[in-house]
Structures are given as structure tokens and as C-alpha cells.
Amino acid sequence: MGRTAAPAEARRTNDADWRGGRVPMFIHYGGEDVLEVAKQAYLMYFSENGLGPRAFGSLAKFESEVVAMGLGLLHGGPQACGAMTTGGTESIFLAVKCARDRALARRPGMGKPRIVMPQSAHPAFDKAAYFLGLEPVRTPLGADFRADVAAMRAALTPDTAMLVGSAPSFPHGVVDPIPELAALAREQGTWMHVDACVGGYFAPFARELGADIPDFDFAVEGVTSISADLHKYGYTAKGASTLFFADPESFALMGYFFDNWPRGQYFTHTLVGTRAGGAIAAAWAVMNYLGKDGYLRVTQRVLATRRAMQTGLDALGLPTFGARSCPSSPSARRRATWPPSARE
């Protein structure tokens, strides 16, 4: 290889044409302008490390503002808090860890902690259960492909540490009945996690554009934590997700502190240690570049694409499921708070 990275470009020849719309997942493309902003910010903070918030106060401030913006979108109350992680899997992993630790602390003598979730939940929950020593329990879906609340209730035991609902689920794109699941979790004194990795930065804007999206966030009493990926419909660089908690006690379970070695104190909120400063900076830059109007504009494009696909499928006589109402003109329903008041 010469003095540049140019030869790497040649390796792309057989990759999927994502700019041409050939990849229905993996990449969330908000347009060239958004990509350019993300790249500029990423390169600006290419070398900085999110592991050192005191050394890189800029990154710590970006992160706290990103978290504040996310909480503003997801109706976080005054007690709500959160942190950035490197992706949906890490957010889910940490939520599972917090739920496990809370259950073990509250119920001494309990058996192996269980995660009860609908069949459509993301594999990251089983992966986390595998690594963290929990028992994953998947329950059948209802006829509408959403979580069947009765089936989840039937799966509960005194060892249940966490209930899960998705907003939306990856396989079917439908939002689970979060209010009913959260009520069940409250009744049982169990942690309720909403996996909004896909919907967290999409649903608030789609709803404002009139899409019929059921309640799924902290507006629902009993929701303990929410995962929401910035590197999906937040349109930021890969390596950026958020994990939010309804209260600081739950959030505190996420941190890890260690000092039994010769190098002093070590503390992280996240599973990983080193975190790309670029991913944190790019998230902040894209959120501020797009702002509410920009997100509404990009979300409108996604909704229009969905409508076009629905029309085409209808014309072919192919059945579809999920909400059929996908309005073409904005009709505000519940306003997302954007930008929210800053939380430091």
C-alpha cells in the first residue's frame, strides 16, 4: 500500500449499493449533507477517547447534551437520566445487567434471574442473558405480531428480573403493547425495558407527522429503561446508542467502579472502556445540524417511502400487517420536546 488509503476503495467493488437503496438494513442514510456533518465531526474528534471525560470535557458535554435531547424526545421526567453507549447491543446488555442486579438486591435467595420477552425481541437479549447468567424466556406473539400480554403474564415467576417490549420489533416493525406490559411489570415489581433501538429517534417525529404510534416511552408509567440507537434513525455515525433510565437509582446500577490494582480508580458507565470520540461528537453534531425540522423532513421521506411500498403491495394484492394509517400531511398529535432544556 502506498502513502494513502486509496487502495481500500477498490475493495468496495462487490459491496451492496446502499446509496442506491439496495440495503434495507445496516445503513440509515439521511442524505449527503447529514453524512458530511457526521464525517466532519467524527474526523475532528477522531483521536479523542470517551473513556476520559475529564481529559476531554468536550466529549462529556456532547454526551450530556445528546442524552438531554434524547430524554426530551422520549418524555423523560425530571428524574430521568442516561448515557451514550456504542450500540443497541451494548445498551441492551447494560439494561439487562441493571435489571439483574436490582432483582438480586431486592430478592435475596431468588433463583436464576429470568428475562421474559416476546418471540420478536432482538437476539441481543439472549446474548446478554448468555453472558450475564440469566434465563431468557420467549413467549408467543398475538395474531397482530405484537407481544401477547396474557402469554407474558403466564411466563412470569418470582425469578423474573425483566420484562421486555419493542418499539418497534425488528422482525415485523410493530410496537408491542407497552402500557399493558408496563402495568404488568409494575404489578409484579419488575423492571420494564423498552427496546426502542429502531424507533427511539424515529417514532417521536413520525408521531408528530401524524403517524398512529402507540405510547411506548417514559410517558408510560412503569417503564424503567429505554434503549434508542443514534446510529439508526438518529442518522449519526456507527458506534452511537443511548440508554435511558426513569430514575437515578436505576441508572446507578449501570456504572462499574474498580480500584484494586496499582493504577488507582477506574470507573465507566459502559461495558466497553475506550470509546471513539468521533462517534460521540458526530452524534451531537448531526442532532444539532438536523434539529427538529431536519428530523421531521427526513422522517417524512421514510413515511413517504413506506406509503409508496404499501400502495405497490396493495396493487399486487399482497397482504400487509401493522398500522395502515400513514398520513401524507403533518397533523400534530403529541409534540416532541425539541430542543429540550439542557441537563448537565
Helix %, strand %, coil % of the chain (to 5): 40, 15, 45
Cα atoms in the 13 Å half-sphere on the side-chain side of 41: 25
Question: Looking at beta carbons only, is 161 or 198 nearer to ligand PLP?
Answer: 198
Distance CA 31, CA 311 (A): 24
Binding residue for ligand PLP (CB under 6 A) from 97, 122, 207, 269? 122
Question: Looking at beta carbons only, is 139 or 166 nearer to ligand PLP?
Answer: 166
Contact positions with ligand PLP (CB under 6 A) in 222-281: 229
DSSP annotation of 340: P
Told to check if 195 binds ligand PLP by CB under 6 A, we report yes
Binding residue for ligand PLP (CB under 6 A) from 85, 166, 190, 270? 166
H-state helical runs in 32-177? 32-44, 57-73, 88-106, 124-132, 149-155
Distance CA 12, CA 320 (A): 35
Residue 112 CB, nearest approach to ligand PLP (Å): 23
Binding residue for ligand PLP (CB under 6 A) from 30, 50, 81, 89? 89
Query: Do residues 298 and 290 make contact, with C-beta atoms less than 8 angstroms apart?
Result: yes
Residue 330 CB, nearest approach to ligand PLP (Å): 26
Mask: binding to ligand PLP, 203-222, rule CB under 6 A, as x and -?
--------------------
Question: Looking at beta carbons only, is 166 or 242 nearer to ligand PLP?
Answer: 166
Question: What cell does 245 get?
Answer: 433510565
Label the pairing between strands 266-268 and 135-139: unpaired
Distance CA 176, CA 141 (A): 10
Residue 22 CB, nearest approach to ligand PLP (Å): 18
- 117: which strand partners? 138
Told to check if 23 binds ligand PLP by CB under 6 A, we report no
Distance CA 265, CA 326 (A): 52
Told to check if 170 binds ligand PLP by CB under 6 A, we report yes
Binding residue for ligand PLP (CB under 6 A) from 82, 87, 165, 204? 87
Question: What cell does 138 get?
Answer: 420467549
Residue 232 CB, nearest approach to ligand PLP (Å): 7
Binding residue for ligand PLP (CB under 6 A) from 34, 66, 124, 220? 124
Told to check if 200 binds ligand PLP by CB under 6 A, we report no
Query: Do residues 197 and 229 make contact, with C-beta atoms less than 8 angstroms apart?
Result: yes
- Please give the residue ranges that form the binding site for ligand PLP (CB under 6 A): 87-89, 92, 122, 124, 166, 170, 195, 197-198, 229
